[in-house]
Amino acid sequence: MAMTLLEAAKLAPSIETGTIIEEFAAQSEILRVLPFEDVPGTGKHYNREDTLPGVGFRGINEAYDESVGVLNPQSEAHKIAGGDLDVDKFIIDTQGESVRSVHELMKVKALSLMWTRNFIKGDSRTNSRVFDGLQVRLTGSQLVSNASAGGALSLSKLDETIDLVDQPTHVLMSKAMRRKLSKAARAGIAGDIRYTLDEFGRQVQMYNDLPILILDYDNNGDQILSFTETSPDGSSSTACSSIYVVSLQPMMLVGIQGAIDGVFGISTRDLGELETKPVYRTRVDWYSAVACYHGRAAARLAGITDVDAVA
């Protein structure tokens, strides 16, 4: 059964592991809501639904036309994410044991932001250690051109992108793009904009009843969805950004995670003081990837420039 990290934190084998899992979710709006499946072994092999089989009516003594659906074999390998959380013995001795958790959570935040960037920008063709993100995965009919050479966010194109996703659950964008939606709403040209609260009590903006998830900055302080993407026709390489519409639920778009020492999910191990240097080390490992079970589980609206939105 797929569950989010917040749900998994309640079942963590230790308080420390549960705290770290919750911190992963708190630092990333994607990780807060993305369901994860427990997948044993090295990864997941599955068939992705792309085309349904044909059906129809028949007359008496007639046969149905033979038809089959299209299933494309897919394979997702677990990728190893994590890091060693080192805190100098001097810091522990002078400031107390509690300061160790502060430094550890800083590392966890960095790992969460790195994973979130990879969810969008990961490309195994240039780095075999990472899984492919949505930017690489979404092609063909699931890639919508806002304007061939780039242009103002078209709300009608955004609505079109939403309609390309079966059972959409969320819209992913940058803070800058969210501001454009808010401005368009004040000008009376945007769709239904309203607000709700997430699990941490933070305000979440919704567009046409879909929660907007913000992709802000990564672990290096760089914007994940900045206006630096190539335009759909390739004429501009530094002026565009994208919006993603996703269906984050079982059998659509999910995360997958493997087992470490027989336990699925994020693993934390206290290795104690190292012999080679006076630091206390905690190791965090996570075998994870993304699985897209359905051909219409996500769509991308590309070619949006940094100007006010239009209807």
Model pLDDT for residues 162-182, shown as the tens digit of each residue: 999 999 999 999 999 999 998
Check whether 229 has a pLDDT greater than 80: yes
Q: Mean pLDDT over all residues of the chain?
A: 87
Q: Are 217 and 223 in contact (CB under 8 A)?
A: yes
H and E: helices and strands count for the chain? 8, 16
Tell me the CATH architecture of domain 5-48+77-130+254-290.
2-Layer Sandwich (3.30)
What's this model's pTM, rounded to 2 decimal places? 0.85
Report the pLDDT value the prediction gives residue 8, as an integer from 0 to 100.
Answer: 75
- Any idea where the domains of the chain sit in the sequence? 5-48+77-130+254-290, 138-250+296-304
- The encoded tokens of residue 282 equal 């905690």
DSSP designation for 1: -
Model pLDDT for residues 51-76, shown as the tens digit of each residue: 556 666 767 767 756 654 555 678 89
For the chain, where are the alpha helices, taking DSSP H only? 5-9, 15-26, 29-33, 89-95, 98-121, 134-137, 155-163, 175-186
Model pLDDT for residues 278-292, shown as the tens digit of each residue: 999 988 889 999 999
Beta strands in 150-226 (DSSP E): 170-173, 193-197, 203-207, 210-214
Count CB-CB contacts under 10 A for residue 176. 14
Model pLDDT for residues 12-34, shown as the tens digit of each residue: 777 767 777 787 788 889 998 99
pLDDT (average), residues 233-255: 90
Helix (H) or strand (E) holding 32: helix 29-33
